Amino acid sequence: MKEKTINIILIAAVLILILFSAGVKIHSTSTFSDISDWNYQQLDKINSTDNNFSFIVLGDNKNSVTVFEKLIEKVNKEDALFAIDIGDLVFNGEKHRFNFFINQIKTLNKPLLTAIGNHELMDEGRGNYYDMFGRFYYSFTVGENYFIVLDDADSKNIDPWQMNWLENELQKSTNYSNRFIFMHVPLFDPRKGERAEGHSIDDLEFANELNGLFDEYNVTMLFCSHIHAYYNGTWGRTPYIITGGAGAELVGNDPNHDFFHYIKVKVSEDGIKYEVVKQKGSEFEIMARWSYTVWLYIYAFFDINGIYLFIALSWICLGYYIIFVKKKWLIWNYRKKK
Residues 25 and 252: their CA atoms lie apart, in Å, by 41
Mean pLDDT of 120-137: 95
As to burial, measured by CB atoms within 10 angstroms (0-12 exposed, 13-18 middle, 19+ buried), residue 162 is: middle
pLDDT class of 329 with cuts at 50, 70, 90? very low
Residues 263 and 185: their CA atoms lie apart, in Å, by 17
- Nearest one of 277, 289, 276, 278 to 249, comparing CA atoms: 289
Mean pLDDT of 90-105: 88
pLDDT class of 146 with cuts at 50, 70, 90? very high
Q: How many helices (H) and strands (E) does the chain have?
A: 10, 11
Of 79-83, 301-305, 319-323, the one with minimum mean pLDDT is: 301-305
Tell me which H or E stretch contains 264: strand 260-268
At 249, the amino acid letter reads: E
Residue 323 has pLDDT above 70, yes or no: no
Residues 241 and 230: their CA atoms lie apart, in Å, by 7
Residues 35 and 110: their CA atoms lie apart, in Å, by 17
Tell me which H or E stretch contains 82: strand 82-85
Contact call for residues 301 and 20 (beta carbons, < 8 A)? no
pLDDT class of 2 with cuts at 50, 70, 90? low
% the chain with pLDDT above 90: 60
Mean pLDDT of 97-125: 93
Query: pLDDT tens digits, residue range 264-319?
Result: 999 998 999 999 999 886 555 556 556 645 655 565 566 555 566 666 766 676 67
Half-sphere exposure of 67 (CA within 13 A, CB side): 29
Query: pLDDT tens digits, residue range 151-192?
Result: 999 999 999 999 999 999 999 999 999 999 999 999 999 998
Tell me the Cα Rg of the chain.
26
Residue 243 has pLDDT above 80, yes or no: yes
Tell me which H or E stretch contains 13: helix 2-31
Cα-Cα-Cα-Cα dihedral sign, residues 67, 73, 77, 79: positive
Question: How much is the pLDDT for 282?
Answer: 58
At 133, the amino acid letter reads: F
Eight-class DSSP state of 195: T
**Beta pairing class for 230-235 and 238-243:** antiparallel
